[in-house]
Amino acid sequence: MALLSVKDLSVKFVTRKATVRAVNGISFDLEAGGTLGIVGESGCGKSVSSLAMLGILPKPAGRVMRGEVNFDGVDLLKIPDSQLRQVRGKDIAMIFQDPMTSLNPVLTIGRQITESLRKHLDMSKDDAKKESISLLGRVGIPAAEDRIKDFPHQFSGGMRQRVMIAMAISCRPKILIADEPTTALDVTIQAQILDLLKHLVAEENMALILITHDLGVVAGTCERTNVMYAGRFVESATTSSLFARPRHPYTLGLLKSVPRLDAARKEKLEPIGGTPLSMTQDIEGCAFAPRCIYATDKSREETPELARIDSDDHLVACWNPVPDEDLPHVEVVATQAEGRTAR
Amino acid sequence: MLNYALRRVILTIPILLGLSIIVFAFVRALPGGPEIALLGERGTDEQQEQIREDLGLDQPVYVQYGRYMSNVLSGDLGSSTRTRQPIVEELKLKFPATFELSIAAMFFAILIGVPLGFIAAKRYQGLLDNTSLVLSLIGISFPVFFLALLLKYIFSIKLGLLPTIGRLDITRSLEHPTNFYVLDAIIAGDTAALGDALRHLVLPAVALGTIPLAIVARITRAAVLDVTSEDYVRTARAKGLDPRVIDRRHVLKNALLPVITIIGLQTGLLLTGAILTETVFAWPGVGSWMLEAIRFRDYAVLQGGILFFAVLIVFVNLLVDLSYAFLNPRIRYQ
Amino acid sequence: MSIAEAEAKELRLERPSSLGRDALERFRHNKSALVGVAVILLLILVAIFAPLIAPYGPREQVGGLDSSDPAGPSSEHLMGLDEQGRDEFSRVVYGARLSLLVGLVSVTFGLTFGLILGALAGYFGGWVDTTIMRIMDIMLSIPGLLLAIGLVTLLGRGLIQIMCAVGITTVPIFARLLRGAILAQRESDYVLAARSVGVPGGRLLMIHILPNALAPVIVQATLAMATAIIDVAGLSFLGLGPADPSFPEWGKMLADNASRLERAAHLVIFPGAAVVISVLGLNLIGDGLRESIDPKLRS
């Protein structure tokens, strides 16, 4: 049985002005130690889905409409918050995009690490302190013993993200959700952080859900990648298949708009035309149809569901997927033993 | 931190200088000239001559200013036009009363204001929130002297629950080593006197502290709302921490920083409020003293009082700034 | 704002509308602000039509002179008689005129000077800025009432003097506000763009910078009016108001009758309530405006 099994998760935001359907029925499975990437543009609902899974949607606006989030046999959406708190931070941990604002400015980072340890693992003050020093060392922060007394503003951006990672893995979670962990960082630091995550995944046999808008980020880190648009998954495949045969027009568009080192000098970047739909109205047909060059009449009338294409573990939600001739056939360096991450 | 502290202290100097110049100019500009103003109509020719010499009125302005400053810095603020008593002596006597009252008012404002603001923020847009917003708006719409009169009327005159005037029952005797009646009662071990002193403190403190309370409540609410929507609170929730722990360690610790600053800045409000409130309760502090000085054109007391108040406020502001710098790790550890 | 909220926001394609229209829209829906508007409109009407509303003149002797025990409210005299035998209701009504006048004049005075100083400081910068701001800082370090007391002592007592004194105490607030707004705008991209094509400085100030600084100034002006009414009442209470004993100013009425609290509470309660209601109205409007312009404040 999969470690995490999400079925038909739907989330909406209710405000005075309008109701936004942020997530419209997503499903996926995650095995122990597997790595899953969720890719999509800002506002497609990718972050919201994780917040919903952990039960920390902003209240009172955020509401789960339906769905199941089965973790270790328990549906996280159905248990009371007091129970959920035992899972949060302990079995499932999350790190966020901006490490400067995501750390409490008035607490030492030592304190911020030990508070998880003491709460979830019932450690004594001294043990927790020792453990926090060792954790900082593991994430690559030098002079850890001195640094635990420091405050977040005394660290650089990359260091802060390492601190957040240390906090997250402190209780040896089974799943780590990383929401845009490198977006706020320099490119060189990005690579270091992603490397760190890969190492930790291997060392701890920890599953990873990596949420990002940047395809380049998932390329080296995730076995499988799901592409999200307007609150739904539009394509799900192994990362190498996704890059080699992106069957959904949106995925193809994403790939084409990313600058590549091996591209011909005069080759232009092709952005995806149009703007994302407002998610306040009910969408008829395929959400991507207005911007899609392959759209047909059926696309505009009926909403496509995820269906198998090419192989058993490549799914796409499209009435008129990208034909073979238009596929870019990009090679992606294989990451880890494929097949560990279920679809 | 040290850097910041030093800079901040140095910045105070030009302000104090500016204040002294303003008050100095003020005395020179008083109607009738300083001799009449400071001595009153009944000043004899000798006394007027003395004043002229003291102030150096025939000397150039900068010499006058120099004299003035040397007087002030050596603790001589002149003597009251009415009573001919040295102003500094009177201040020593009357200030503790006002100070005691201000502290009680501040206590009242914080003890009720902070929890109120916090709960209002937690139950955002709930009944308590909206009610507290309206109440705090009403609170700051009251002239403090009207509030004092109203409270006195309802609780003292009509309901007879609390005493109308004074700091202590006139029939009661108590030694006053500190001139803080509450402290004096504690020192003397006189519980009856303590109760009496506290009962006399209630109405004036509530009257004086209501506006600061309204402000503190609003600021606390705003600060808590701000902090609650910050990313690090989301991180704390994601760590699975207990909501009460989150409130205490993550929300309040950050939200109270700006609140502390605001509390310090209420000093000005308290001092001017004292001028308007003390007289309603016949509270023998600096406030009612100033009021009399205004009524009786006691310009000597007035200028001394204004200088004293202004300097006090500048120092309290300095203290508040330094405390904030100390408490906020971002400034403390540069 | 959390990522999720940011995402939720971005999804909504906003209808393009000017800042003013948006703000007005929000203001219209703010219930307490509308109550404030109603109150102030009432106040304005009472002030304008005072002679029609008040049954007697403010200085008119009506009843018997019984200063030790003035008559309380009755069917003839809604708010009773004051210590000089005058109809209290009429006096309170006429007092509305004074309060309104006082609020408007002192704030206009303070606003004008404050804005000029702030504009000079913000526009020229350098030592002009430093000097002006230092003076403002010093003024601000003396609490408003104290400063006003000092000024009135110099200027002498009287209604005009009080208005000037209170007006002067509001100057630093407006100066700082405008200077801050100008500084913020000066570095903004559109101003730099305008300058690079040669738009002259003065024009820049008037057409581009000032309109954007207007919003907070309006909010502050409303709140300053509220404080002005309270401060003027306070100064009257201290005996620094007009020398004329029969002047129907609310603060003065409070001061004159503070000693009669036991037997003539109505002479304290009615004028006091009038002050509270007027100031509350202004505060409600000011608060409502502040929220309309920056809705983030509420959420």
Can you say whether residue B85 is alpha, beta or left, with left for phi > 0 and alpha for psi between -120 and 50 degrees? beta
Does residue A95 belong to the interface with chain C, where contact is any CB pair within 8 Å? no
pLDDT score, position C160: 85
B7 and B106 in a single domain? The answer is: no
pLDDT above 70 for A61 = yes
- CB count within 10 Å of CB A96 equals 28
Does residue A9 belong to the interface with chain B, where contact is any CB pair within 8 Å? no
pLDDT score, position A127: 92
Interface test with B, best of C230, C235, C253 (most B CBs within 10 A): C230
pLDDT score, position A170: 92
User: Per the CB < 8 Å rule, is C13 touching A20?
Assistant: no
Beta bridge partners, A13, equal A20, A62
Q: What is the pLDDT of residues C50-94, one digit of tens each?
A: 888 888 888 877 766 666 677 777 777 777 877 777 888 888 888
User: Which backbone phi and psi does A38 adopt, to 5 degrees?
Assistant: -120, 120
| Cβ atoms of residues A163 and A102 within 8 Å | no
Is residue B87 a part of any domain in this protein?
no
Report the percentage of chain C scoring pLDDT > 90.
13
Does residue A294 belong to the interface with chain B, where contact is any CB pair within 8 Å? no
| Mean pLDDT computed over C177-189 | 78
**Lowest-confidence region among A124-138, A281-295, C104-118:** A281-295
Residues of C with CB below 8 A from A279's CB? Answer: 11
pLDDT score, position A309: 82
Residue C197's Cβ-count burial label (10 Å; 0-12, 13-18, 19+) is exposed
Nearest CA in chain B to C35: B134
| Cβ atoms of residues C292 and C28 within 8 Å | no
Residue ending a domain, choose from B45, B73, B101:
B73
Residues of A with CB below 8 A from C12's CB? Answer: 17-18, 20, 278, 280
Q: What is the pLDDT of residues B286-324, one digit of tens each?
A: 988 988 888 887 888 888 888 888 888 888 888 888 888
Higher pLDDT, B45 or B251: B251
Q: What is the pLDDT of residues C212-261, one digit of tens each?
A: 777 788 888 999 999 999 988 888 888 887 777 778 888 888 888 888 88
B155 and B304 in a single domain? The answer is: yes
Q: Which domain holds residue B292?
A: 93-327
DSSP H/E element including C225: helix C210-237
Interface test with C, best of A23, A102, A232, A280 (most C CBs within 10 A): A280
| Cβ atoms of residues C253 and C95 within 8 Å | yes
Residue ending a domain, choose from B24, B40, B73:
B73
CA distances from C213 to C173, C176, C206, C223 (A): 14, 12, 10, 16
B32 and B109 in a single domain? The answer is: no
| Mean pLDDT computed over C182-191 | 74
CA distance A259 to A108: 40
Does residue B29 belong to the interface with chain C, where contact is any CB pair within 8 Å? yes
Is residue B168 a part of any domain in this protein?
yes
pLDDT band of C188, cuts 50, 70, 90: confident
Tell me which residue has tokens 């039509």: C49
Q: What is the pLDDT of residues B313-323, one digit of tens each?
A: 888 888 888 88
For A308, the 3-state DSSP assignment is strand
pTM score = 0.85
| Mean pLDDT computed over B274-297 | 88
| Mean pLDDT computed over C131-143 | 85
pLDDT above 80 for B235 = yes
For the four alpha carbons of A74, A75, A78 and A79, in that order, the dihedral sign comes to: positive
pLDDT above 90 for A60 = no
User: Per the CB < 8 Å rule, is B26 touching C154?
Assistant: yes
B100 and B44 in a single domain? The answer is: no
B66 and B107 in a single domain? The answer is: no
| Cβ atoms of residues C217 and C177 within 8 Å | yes
pLDDT above 90 for A131 = yes
Is residue B277 a part of any domain in this protein?
yes
pLDDT band of A135, cuts 50, 70, 90: very high
pLDDT score, position B102: 93
Is residue B78 a part of any domain in this protein?
no
User: Per the CB < 8 Å rule, is B254 touching A86?
Assistant: no
CATH number at residue B247: 1.10.3720.10
Nearest CA in chain A to B254: A106
Parallel, antiparallel or unpaired: strands A92-95 and A175-179: parallel
pLDDT band of B232, cuts 50, 70, 90: very high
Residues of B with CB below 8 A from C32's CB? Answer: 133-134, 137
Question: Please, what is the Cα angle at A184 between A178 and A186, to 5 degrees?
Answer: 115
| Mean pLDDT computed over A334-343 | 44
User: Per the CB < 8 Å rule, is A93 touching B330?
Assistant: no
Does residue A76 belong to the interface with chain B, where contact is any CB pair within 8 Å? no
CB nearest B240 (choices: A85, A101, A106): A85
B31 and B113 in a single domain? The answer is: no
B49 and B151 in a single domain? The answer is: no
Is residue B183 a part of any domain in this protein?
yes
pLDDT score, position C115: 87
Nearest CA in chain A to B249: A107
Is residue B81 a part of any domain in this protein?
no
C260 DSSP 8-state letter: G
Question: Please, what is the Cα angle at C16 between C14 and C21, to 5 degrees?
Answer: 110
pLDDT score, position C68: 66
pLDDT score, position B17: 86
pLDDT above 90 for C105 = yes
Higher pLDDT, C210 or C3: C210
CA distance B279 to B204: 10
| Cβ atoms of residues B24 and B68 within 8 Å | yes
Does residue A164 belong to the interface with chain B, where contact is any CB pair within 8 Å? yes
User: Which backbone phi and psi does A227 adopt, to 5 degrees?
Assistant: -105, 130
Can you say whether residue A151 is alpha, beta or left, with left for phi > 0 and alpha for psi between -120 and 50 degrees? beta
Range with top average pLDDT, A120-129, B86-95, B174-183: A120-129
CA distance C284 to B134: 9
Virtual torsion, Cα C125, C131, C132, C138, nearest 10 deg: 140
Higher pLDDT, C283 or B125: C283
B57 and B115 in a single domain? The answer is: no
pLDDT score, position C203: 67
**Lowest-confidence region among A239-243, B49-53, B162-166:** B49-53
Please report all neighbours of A, defined by 3+ CB atom pairs within 8 A.
B, C
pLDDT score, position B127: 87
Does residue B118 belong to the interface with chain C, where contact is any CB pair within 8 Å? no
CA distance B97 to A131: 55
pLDDT band of C9, cuts 50, 70, 90: very low
User: Which backbone phi and psi does A5 adopt, to 5 degrees?
Assistant: -130, 110
Q: What is the pLDDT of residues A181-209, one digit of tens each?
A: 988 888 888 889 999 999 999 988 899 99
Residue ending a domain, choose from B44, B73, B102:
B73
CA distance B102 to A188: 57
Nearest CA in chain B to A94: B238
| Mean pLDDT computed over A132-139 | 92
Does residue A102 belong to the interface with chain C, where contact is any CB pair within 8 Å? no
Report the percentage of chain A scoring pLDDT > 70.
90
pLDDT above 90 for A179 = yes
**Lowest-confidence region among A109-113, B64-68, B327-331, C38-42:** B64-68
| Cβ atoms of residues C88 and C246 within 8 Å | no
Q: How many domains does chain B fold into?
A: 2
Considering only CA atoms, which of B275, B285, B297 is closest in space to residue B81? Answer: B297
pLDDT score, position C264: 82
Q: What is the pLDDT of residues B43-60, one digit of tens each?
A: 677 777 777 776 667 777
Residues of B with CB below 8 A from A183's CB? Answer: none
**Lowest-confidence region among B199-208, B239-248, C150-159:** C150-159
Considering only CA atoms, which of A242, A236, A232 is closest in space to residue A287? Answer: A232
Tell me the CB-side half-sphere exposure of residue B74, using CA atoms within 13 A. Answer: 8
B283 and B246 in a single domain? The answer is: yes
B286 and B151 in a single domain? The answer is: yes
Report the percentage of chain B scoring pLDDT > 90.
28
User: Per the CB < 8 Å rule, is B240 touching A94?
Assistant: no
User: Per the CB < 8 Å rule, is B19 touching C153?
Assistant: no
User: Per the CB < 8 Å rule, is C12 touching A276?
Assistant: no
User: Per the CB < 8 Å rule, is C8 touching A13?
Assistant: yes
Is residue B80 a part of any domain in this protein?
no
Smallest CA–CA distance, residue B110 to chain A, in Å, is 22
pLDDT band of B197, cuts 50, 70, 90: confident
Smallest CA–CA distance, residue A230 to chain C, in Å, is 9
pLDDT score, position A46: 87
- Interface B–C counts its CB contacts (< 8 A) at 130
Can you say whether residue A89 is alpha, beta or left, with left for phi > 0 and alpha for psi between -120 and 50 degrees? left
Does residue A161 belong to the interface with chain B, where contact is any CB pair within 8 Å? no
B195 and B100 in a single domain? The answer is: yes
| Mean pLDDT computed over C274-278 | 93
B102 and B63 in a single domain? The answer is: no
- Interface A–C counts its CB contacts (< 8 A) at 50
- CB count within 10 Å of CB A295 equals 18
CA distance C180 to C189: 17
Is residue B86 a part of any domain in this protein?
no
Residues 251-270 of B with CB under 8 A from C: 268-269
pLDDT band of A340, cuts 50, 70, 90: very low
